[in-house]
Amino acid sequence: MRFPGWNGEPVAAWLLRPRNAAGPLPVVVTYMGYGGGRGLPTDHLFWSAAGYAQLVVDSRGHGHDTPDRGMGDGTQWVEGFMTRGIDSPDTYYYRRLVTDCVRAVEAVAELPGLDGRRIVVAGASQGGGLALAVAGLAGDRVAAAMPDLPFLCHFRHAAAICGDGPYQEIAKYLRWQSRHRAEPAFATLDHFDGVHFARRATVPTLFSVGLMDPVCPPSTVYAAFNHYAGEDRTMTVWPFGGHGGGHGSNPPVQLAWLRERDLAPAL
């Protein structure tokens, strides 16, 4: 399917439904990790197999189906997206991507056969950070959030300590391209920090963290978790988990958590 995202530009998504399922179905809106688009429908069969509808949202510029036409003015660091348009919150890349992700929730609520009162936002890494942002921005249009190993949290700390992953793009930019612009750069990044979105979010949330994650260090994940405004917040801890967290062991935890909150499909 396609829905209008930032500036009305079309965003690609996969909508998967269980075959012959009676609606209205709860929906898991899934956001993608850094550097990857929506992939193929067969990459995303878990939630439909469990009886849910799922909307898999493409990330503009990351895959092949949703270009980032409004690339923004100002700095374009060649390695990735973290400094694209970083000179201003108005031009920063994640302003466009986060808008796409909020619009996905609005779009899926209008589709027939789906339960607009039971929309769950989810994702891992960048997808987890985007789910957290949508939870903070979409208000009561979202029933719950499941950010796994969320990226885009506590930028200042992450850029200083990470030895792996996209946070390094920020450090390299400040090291080689703009040594004297650290504060303006972080002033832009602060507008899109998951810690601040967490302060606005009140829906039930299930985080996960890998205590050996070099890409999204535990301290950055806990920064968002500890500032989360909702009372119903749970953290799944994988003590020896890297950036994959609990891998295939995590979805059953999510299913059980959703059932406890009456967000499971009818049997």
Q: Which residues are catalytic?
A: 125, 213, 243
* Alpha carbons 212 and 239: distance in angstroms, whole number: 7
Helix %, strand %, coil % of the chain (to 5): 35, 20, 45
How far apart CA 105 and CA 199 sit, in angstroms, is: 20
**Torsions phi, psi of 239, nearest 5?**
-60, -35
Handedness of CA 212, 213, 214, 217 (dihedral sign): negative
Other beta carbons less than 10 A from residue 9's beta carbon: 18
Measured CA to CA in angstroms, residue 82 lies from 102, 167, 198, 204, 212 at distances of 20, 7, 20, 29, 23
Task: Give SS3 for 114.
Answer: strand
Q: How far apart are CA 145 and CA 136, in angstroms?
A: 10
3 state DSSP class of 235: strand
